[in-house]
Amino acid sequence: MTSSRVGAKRKVAVLGATGAVGQTFIRLLADHPWFELTEVAASARSAGKRYQDATRWIEGVMPASVADLVIKNSRASEISAQIVFSALDANVAGEIEEEFASAGKLVLSNARNHRMEPDVPLVIPEVNGDHLALIDTQRAHRGWSGAIVTNANCAATVAAVAVAPLHQKFGLEKLFLTTMQAVSGAGYPGVASLDILGNVIPYIADEEPKLEREMLKLLGRLEDGAVVNGSFAVSAQTNRVAVEHGHTVCISASFHDHPTPDQALSALRAWKGIESTHGLPSRPAQPLVVTDNADRPQPRRDVDAGNGMTVTVGRVREDTILDLRMVALGHNTIRGAAGGSVLNAELLAVSGRLPAE
Ligand SMILES: NC(=O)c1ccc[n+]([C@@H]2O[C@H](COP(=O)([O-])OP(=O)(O)OC[C@H]3O[C@@H](n4cnc5c(N)ncnc54)[C@H](OP(=O)(O)O)[C@@H]3O)[C@@H](O)[C@H]2O)c1
């Protein structure tokens, strides 16, 4: 795939560029065939410094193209790119992202703030990429030429990819999710080492309600310019564990059509995701793979599947109370954050929905 499919490379900026997700954006955008990273922004604490001086870099080798960029303030008036990836802290993301959208920019956000607003798409491209059409409703409602597009909470992303093929074929009725979430999900520096080493913390602030409400929107249907939420029941329990990257989700579910494990496995293996995402640069060949190994998926072995964009599902078996249970694993800062956002931008590019330069 080359830039020829969408014309010349488009200039993009990253807000929150110094944080955990911001750094993943920088790595993924460094050699992107369609986008050129030209600006980075963060808080006033970092603004004015060279990127390499302001950032505690944790993503391998820092791309040379970003090292000397001077960090800007996260203000629309300071950023010239029309396409902006946001990895801002949720305490400030809400207002800043609105400022950028009302200034005509397309904001691809990782923050929770706007996800559940009825005219804001909450999208995992292979699952519900058609929901991106909501930005037409958003522009009409809000009278701005820009837009805000969000990707889901990182654990909700893993769970939604894993159950989407089953929901589409058998109709979810009840869903129990129990997560084991990596420390990188808390940003940098995140959880104190003395709290997490050798430990499990059975609480992540606001995480359970986020999972419960986002699953309904992600697996909902777009009808007449609005999302009709999924009508199943969801209960989530979330835990922070001493893993660097990769959220694991134990799933138990019941369905209208009561699939057997073999029927579920066939549906999971056959699922390729929405057609319009096939061939996009950040889309893995398989958004979901099923492992037959009894002791997988495991973060250490499976988190980098599909360059961090593939969700691995295993242990698909009958449940003693509901119909099925299984385990899913995905990379939280790639599939669950920056990589998902870049894939959203690619799908917007091929659907002709990027703002003019
Ligand atoms: N980590 C994950 O796995 C994950 C997954 C999905 C979604 N998310 C979401 O993605 C966002 C970023 O998460 P993260 O884990 O990367 O957090 P993080 O490591 O704490 O980084 C936060 C970023 O926000 C910037 N920032 C903080 N206060 C600011 C202000 N007043 N004005 C402008 N910028 C400010 C920081 O810049 P300075 O360095 O200048 O302070 C930093 O670049 C959050 O909304 C988070 O909920 C995270």
Of 254, 189, 179, residue with least CA distance to 210: 179
Flag whether the pTM goes above 0.95.
yes
What pLDDT score does 1 carry?
A: 42
Residue 344 above 60 pLDDT?
yes
Ligand 1: nearest atom to the Cα of 17: 43
Is residue 10 a contact partner of residue 83, using CB atoms and an 8 Å limit? Answer: yes
Is residue 196 within 8 A of residue 183, CB to CB? The reply is yes
Q: Token match 């969700």: residue?
A: 311
> Mind listing the pLDDT tens digit for each residue in 62-100?
999 999 999 999 999 999 999 999 999 999 999 999 999
Average pLDDT, the chain: 97
| Residue 218 CB neighbours (<10 A) | 28
15, 18, 21: which to mutate for ligand 1, most atoms within 8 A of CB?
A: 21
Determine if the peptide bond prior to 125 is cis (ω within 30°): no
Give the residue numbers annotated as catalytic, written as ranges.
154, 247
pLDDT(165) > 70: yes
Pocket, ligand 1, Cβ cutoff 6 A:
16-22, 42-43, 45-46, 74, 87-90, 92-93, 110-112, 154, 184-185, 187-188, 332-333, 336-337
Q: Is the pLDDT of residue 219 over 60?
A: yes
At residue 5, the pLDDT reads: 64
Q: What is the mean pLDDT of residues 221-240?
A: 97
pLDDT for residue 131 = 98
**275: CA distance to ligand 1 center in Å?**
32
Q: How far is the CA of 187 from the centre of ligand 1 (A)?
A: 7
Tokens of 182: 């990596």
Residue 357 pLDDT: 85
Q: Whose CA is nearest to atom 11 of ligand 1?
A: 87
Quote the CA–CA distance of 223 and 168 in Å, as a whole number. Answer: 16
Q: Name the residue type at position 234.
A: V
Q: Is the pLDDT of residue 258 over 80?
A: yes
pLDDT digits (tens, 9 = 90+) for 166-192: 999 999 999 999 999 999 999 999 999
Ligand 1 centroid–CA 119 distance in Å is: 24
pLDDT in tens, 100-143: 999 999 999 999 999 999 999 999 999 999 999 999 999 999 99
